[in-house]
Amino acid sequence: MPDATLKDAPAGSASSAPAPLVTRFAPSPTGHLHLGHAHSALAAFRAARAKGGRFLLRIEDIDPARCKPEYADAIEEDLAWLGLTWETPVRVQSRHLADYRAVLDRLAGRGLTYPCFCTRKDIAEAAAAPHWASRTGPDGPVYPGTCRALDAPARARRIAAGEGYALRLDMAAALGALARKRVPVLAFEEEGRGSIACDPARFGDIVLARKDVPASYHLCVTHDDALQGVSLVVRGADLFAATDIHRLLQALMGWPAPRYRHHPLLTDAAGRRYAKRDKALTLRSLREAGHSPAAVRALAGFPDP
């Protein structure tokens, strides 16, 4: 259902039959897939297959400066070679910007976002001010909130003058809105670890749309997981902290919360995590070097049963 739009209500709650497990692999086409990606994709694929569930592929390409269509094609080719199959059509995020815009509009309509005109330099300078220097979140320095203080006429004037702006979530207002709706303490279910309490406030006023990119990863990923009925998110441990933000957005939008499985990142023999710079360990170069799909599955931590 590629063109469906997401309403507030959790999908599939009317039927009494248990919903099938739905997992996904959601790469950004910024380079060729490496063994770390193969690990993630196989983990999600096998989790679905083990339970007779569904496996989806989603291309997260909202950043036009970093993503290339040829990498998206290569992702599909490499995953198919590796032996994975997925449902079609594949959701390609850049084709659904209106969906993300609608979410931003709804949050704005509730007074939960504000335009931020700061440049990188403004932010670095403000964050380095002595009274603020201690605020560092999981993603680095926390935005000190300069533009939150602008009044409506000042915002309107700067927008009318053509100044570029990002949209930020007003974290205090968002948490206030949840408290008023009596949403209990936010938490997510991590497989094998149980309920993990969230503390999204430590991120500060996160960016939901950048000046040059119409929506952020956090917004698109949570929207699409809900739209596509993903019930188990399998991904690397590097995204564990970001889950606090995802739970916050799910709670604000009334979207269902999937379960999560953050797997340890695959590392090379020297203990370094795989990255796009490791050209020799892309699925493409392993294939060209004569490795079989089964051999690469084993290298990625999933030997055939």
Binding site for ligand GLU (CB under 6 A): 26-28, 60, 221, 235, 239
Shortest distance (Å) from residue 195 CB to ligand GLU: 20
CA distance 125 to 197: 32
CA distance 260 to 258: 6
Shortest distance (Å) from residue 235 CB to ligand GLU: 4
CA distance 264 to 196: 17
Report the residue number, 173 or 236, with the smaller CB distance to ligand GLU.
Answer: 236
**What's phi and psi for 85, nearest 5 deg?**
-130, 150
Report the residue number, 26 or 169, with the smaller CB distance to ligand GLU.
Answer: 26
Shortest distance (Å) from residue 60 CB to ligand GLU: 4
Is 252 exposed, middle or buried (CB count within 10 Å of its CB: 0-12, 13-18, 19+)?
buried
Shortest distance (Å) from residue 132 CB to ligand GLU: 29
Report the residue number, 122 or 139, with the smaller CB distance to ligand GLU.
Answer: 139
Report the residue number, 114 or 217, with the smaller CB distance to ligand GLU.
Answer: 217
Report the residue number, 234 or 252, with the smaller CB distance to ligand GLU.
Answer: 234
Shortest distance (Å) from residue 101 CB to ligand GLU: 19
CA distance 35 to 116: 38
Shortest distance (Å) from residue 225 CB to ligand GLU: 8
Inter-helix orientation angle 97-109/217-227, to 10° = 100
Report the residue number, 72 or 127, with the smaller CB distance to ligand GLU.
Answer: 72
Residue in the structure block whose two tokens are 């690469």: 296
Going from the C-alpha of 41 to that of each of 44, 61, 110, 162, 243, the distances in angstroms are 5, 17, 37, 42, 19
Q: What is the side-by-side strand order in the sheet with 54-59?
A: 22-25, 54-59, 91-92
Shortest distance (Å) from residue 77 CB to ligand GLU: 17
Residue in the structure block whose two tokens are 């979207």: 255
Is 218 within 8 Å of 246 (Cβ atoms)? yes
Report the residue number, 117 or 260, with the smaller CB distance to ligand GLU.
Answer: 260
Report the residue number, 54 or 144, with the smaller CB distance to ligand GLU.
Answer: 54
CA distance 31 to 283: 11
**Token reading at 104:** 């931003």
Shortest distance (Å) from residue 26 CB to ligand GLU: 4
The residues, any chain, with a CB within 8 Å of residue 145's CB and separated by 6 or more, are 204, 205
Report the residue number, 60 or 170, with the smaller CB distance to ligand GLU.
Answer: 60
**Token reading at 135:** 């605020």
Shortest distance (Å) from residue 145 CB to ligand GLU: 27
Residue 53's nearest CA partner among 80, 23, 82, 26 is: 23
